[in-house]
Chains A and B, each alone.
Chain A
Amino acid sequence: MSLANVTGFVRPADLGEAFAAVQHGAIPVSGGTAVILHTPSIPSTLVDLTGLPLSGISASEGAFAIGATTTLSEMLEHPGLAAHADGVIAEMLAMVGSPLLRNRATIGGHLGRGRLSDVIPVLLALDATVSWYDGEERDEPLAAFYAAGIHRTPMIITGVAIPALHRPAAAAFRKFSRTHFDLAILNCACRVSLADDGTVHAARVVVGETPELGASVNDAEAMLRGRPFDPSAIAAAATIAATEIPARTDDRASAEYRRALAAVLVRRCLADIASRLP
Chain B
Amino acid sequence: MKDKFQVVGTNEPKVDGRTLVTGKPVFAGDVDLPGMLHVALVTSPMAHARITRIDTSAAEALDGVACVLTHRNTPTTRYTTAGQGAPEPSPYDSRMFDTKVRFVGDRVAAVAADTPTIAAQAAALVEVEYEDLGPVLSMDAALAPGAPVIHDEQDALDIWDAPHNIASVVSAITGDVSAGFDESAVVVETTTETQYAQHAPLEPHVVLAHLDGEGRIILISSTQVPFHVRRIVARLLDLPIHRIRVIKPRLGGGFGAKQEVIVEDVAALIALRTGRPVRFEFTRAQEFISSRTRHPMRVRVKLGALSDGTIHAIEMDVISNTGAYGSHGLTVMSNTGSKTLPLYNKAPHVRFDGRAVYTTMPVAGAYRGYGGTQGCYPLETAMDEMAARLGIDPVELRVRNHIRAGETSPIFEELGEGRKGTPQIVTSCALDACIRVGVERFEWCRKRAEPRGNGPIRHGVGMSVHMQGSGIPLVDMAGASIAMNDDGSFNLLVGATDLGTGSDTILAQIAAEVLGVPVDRIVVTSSDTDLTPFDTGAYASSTTYVSGTAVERAARDVAGQIISVAASMLAADPETLRLADGRVVGDDGRSVDLAKIGFRSYYGPDPAQIAATASFVPESSPPPFMAAFAEVAVDTETGLITVVDYVAAVDCGTAINPRLAEGQMEGAIANGIGYALTEEMQFTSLGRVKNPDLARYKIPGSMDLPPIRVYLVESYEPTGPMGAKSIAEIGINGPLPAIANAVYHAVGVRLTHPPFTPEKVWRELNRQGAAR
Contacts and interface: CB of A to CB of B under 8 A. Distances in A.
The reply to whether A and B meet directly (CB within 8 Å) is yes
Secondary structure of the B side of the interface? Answer: loop
Interface stretch (B174-182, B273-281, B694-702): B694-702
Contacts of B678: 178-179
Contacts of B762: 257, 260
Contacts of B700: 179
A254 B762 CA distance: 12
Contact of B701 (A2, A181, A185): A181
Given A253-B759, A254-B759, A264-B638, A180 B690 contact: no
A213 to B, nearest CB: 19
Contacts of A261: 638
B704 A180 contact: yes
Contact of B698 (A4, A98, A176, A182): A182
A251 interface: yes
A185 B640 CA distance: 12
Contacts of B638: 176, 260-261, 264
Contacts of A257: 758-759, 762-763
A182 B182 CA distance: 51
Contact of A4 (B117, B637, B758): B117
Contacts of B763: 257
B690 A251 contact: yes
B310 interface: no
Given A180-B701, A180-B703, A264 B690 contact: no
Nearest to B117: A4
A231 to B, nearest CB: 14
B696 A251 contact: yes
A42 to B, nearest CB: 16
B491 interface: no
Nearest to B704: A179
Contacts of B640: 176
A261 B637 CA distance: 8
A4 to B, nearest CB: 6
Contacts of B121: 4
Most B CB contacts (10 A, CB to CB) among A183, A253, A260 go to A260
Contacts of A185: 758-759
A178 B699 CA distance: 10
Interface string A186-203: 000000000000000000
Contacts of A251: 682, 690-691, 696
Nearest to B456: A264
A254 B117 CA distance: 39
B11 interface: no
B701 A179 contact: yes
B703 A181 contact: yes
Interface string A244-267: 000000010110010011001000
B637 A264 contact: yes
A176 B117 CA distance: 39
B43 interface: no
A101 to B, nearest CB: 11
Contacts of B701: 98, 179-181
B591 interface: no
Nearest to B640: A176
Nearest to A186: B638
Contacts of B703: 179-181
Interface in B721-772: 757-759, 762-763
B148 to A, nearest CB: 27
Contact of A178 (B117, B120, B690, B758): B758
A109 to B, nearest CB: 17
Contact of B758 (A176, A180, A183): A176
A179 B698 contact: yes
Contacts of B704: 179-180
Contacts of B120: 4
A251 B439 CA distance: 40
A178 B698 contact: yes
A23 to B, nearest CB: 29
Contacts of A183: 695
A179 B698 CA distance: 7
Interface string B556-600: 000000000000000000000000000000000000000000000
A178 B757 contact: yes
Contacts of B695: 182-183
A239 B22 CA distance: 56
Contacts of B758: 176, 178, 185, 257
Contacts of B682: 251
A214 to B, nearest CB: 19
Contacts of A176: 638, 640, 758
A89 to B, nearest CB: 19
Nearest to B116: A2
Interface in A140-193: 176, 178-183, 185
Given A4-B117, A257-B762, 8 more contacts: A98-B701, A176-B640, A179-B703, A183-B695, A185-B759, A254-B759, A257-B758, A257-B763
Interface of A: 2, 4, 98, 176, 178-183, 185, 251, 253-254, 257, 260-261, 264
A-B residue pairs, 6 tightest by C-beta: A180-B703, A257-B759, A264-B637, A179-B698, A179-B704, A181-B701
Interface of B: 117, 120-121, 637-638, 640, 678, 682, 690-691, 695-696, 698, 700-701, 703-704, 757-759, 762-763
30 contacts: A2-B117, A4-B120, A4-B121, A98-B701, A176-B640, A176-B758, A178-B678, A178-B698, A178-B758, A179-B700, A179-B704, A180-B701, A180-B703, A181-B701, A181-B703, A182-B698, A183-B695, A185-B758, A185-B759, A251-B682, A251-B691, A257-B759, A257-B762, A257-B763, A260-B637, A260-B638, A260-B762, A261-B638, A264-B637, A264-B638
